[in-house]
């Protein structure tokens, strides 16, 4: 069993439960309770799951949407800070097992910049996770310049986690099984990341680093398409879109446990840009662990994806 660092591992803090509850209204109540019990546990349940899957460190992050759903900037900033302080206490109890991604309220860009710096420097977090758009505000918005300036200066990875689109995609009407995690979240989150590329954000902040789960939300598969269409539409960037994706975006395997997409991501982005994640407790942690242990790849690549890349990129 190879040692693993897992990067998309969720929890809930007391002040953010009410934002989470609407996301599980369509699942059986018993399963919602199962999730809640594991999201609020930092002891035996989580540690046992980690041990069985060979996960030696989990980087913990708020289960969405968190404060991305809050409309009052003052409330959002306060609750994000409280969530980060709550997580810091739990990490201090088990520093050899847990690290953290900061929860960030981008409703106040200057406050977001200050909070990511506090979390990185004082709480020793590994970066930040933002749960998609914030009431329709995407991360390429020019108002967020103070946040990106600070994140770039800190070398902080900003993990964009899926969320529901602002308006449910009409193409999926009548086929509810395609909503959310099956397909809707993927193109919502992939589109969010592409906004950063095509808006020129990485020209303005060339050292900014973004992470995407689910093997890159289909982006590695379409690099040449992005380049050819950018030429067709006269997109003015310093580099081709594919180069920003290779230079500024890293991905995790969360929820995509198959060799073909793994090798696509490795070949498209580079072997140093792909990392392990189990998406606990929403995915089967044992399936994730067995995939990483058993997938037919060279052993040095397995070690890099499972552990080494995250240890290096997140300074763990």
The catalytic residue positions are 279
Helix axis angle for 44-53 and 285-294, nearest 10°, is 20
Separation between Cα atoms, residue 127 and residue 99, nearest integer Å: 10
Helix (H, G, I), strand (E, B) or coil at 213: coil
Separation CA 102–CA 125 (nearest Å) = 7
What three-state secondary structure class fits 179? coil
Other beta carbons less than 10 A from residue 232's beta carbon: 8
Question: Which residues fall within 8 angstroms of residue 202, CB to CB, at 6 or more apart?
Answer: 196, 208, 244, 247, 248
- Cα gap 74→80, rounded to integer Å: 10
Angle, CA 139 vertex, CA 242 and CA 309 arms, to 5°? 55
Q: CA dihedral defined by 163, 249, 264, 242, rounded to 10 degrees?
A: 110
15: left (phi over 0), alpha (psi -120 to 50) or beta: alpha
């Amino acid at each position: 069993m190879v040692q693993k660092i897992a990067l998309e591992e969720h929890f809930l803090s007391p002040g953010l439960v009410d934002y989470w509850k609407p996301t599980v209204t369509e699942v059986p109540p018993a399963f919602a309770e199962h999730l809640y019990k594991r999201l609020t546990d930092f002891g035996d349940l989580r540690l046992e799951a980690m041990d069985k899957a060979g996960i030696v460190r989990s980087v913990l992050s708020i289960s969405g949407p968190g404060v991305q759903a809050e409309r009052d900037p003052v409330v959002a900033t306060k609750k994000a800070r409280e969530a980060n302080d709550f997580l810091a206490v739990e990490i201090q109890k088990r520093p050899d097992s847990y690290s953290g991604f900061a929860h960030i309220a981008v409703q106040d860009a200057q406050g977001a910049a200050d909070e990511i710096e506090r979390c990185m420097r004082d709480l020793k977090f590994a970066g930040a996770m933002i749960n998609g758009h914030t009431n329709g505000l995407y991360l390429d918005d020019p108002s967020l310049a103070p946040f990106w300036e600070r994140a770039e200066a800190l070398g902080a990875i900003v993990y964009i986690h899926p969320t529901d689109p602002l308006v449910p995609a009409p193409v999926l009407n009548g086929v509810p099984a395609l909503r959310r995690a099956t397909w809707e979240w993927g193109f919502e989150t992939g589109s969010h990341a592409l906004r950063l590329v095509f808006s020129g954000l990485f020209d303005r902040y060339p050292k900014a680093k973004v992470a995407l789960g689910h093997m890159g939300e289909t982006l590695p598969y379409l690099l040449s398409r992005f380049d050819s269409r950018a030429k067709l539409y006269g997109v003015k960037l310093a580099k081709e879109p594919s180069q920003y994706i290779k230079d500024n975006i890293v991905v995790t395997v969360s929820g995509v446990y198959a060799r073909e997409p793994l090798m696509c991501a490795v070949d498209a982005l580079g072997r140093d840009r792909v990392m392990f994640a189990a998406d606990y407790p929403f995915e089967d942690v044992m399936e994730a662990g067995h995939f990483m242990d058993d997938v037919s790849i060279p052993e040095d690549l397995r070690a890099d994806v499972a552990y080494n890349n995250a240890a290096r990129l997140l300074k763990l």
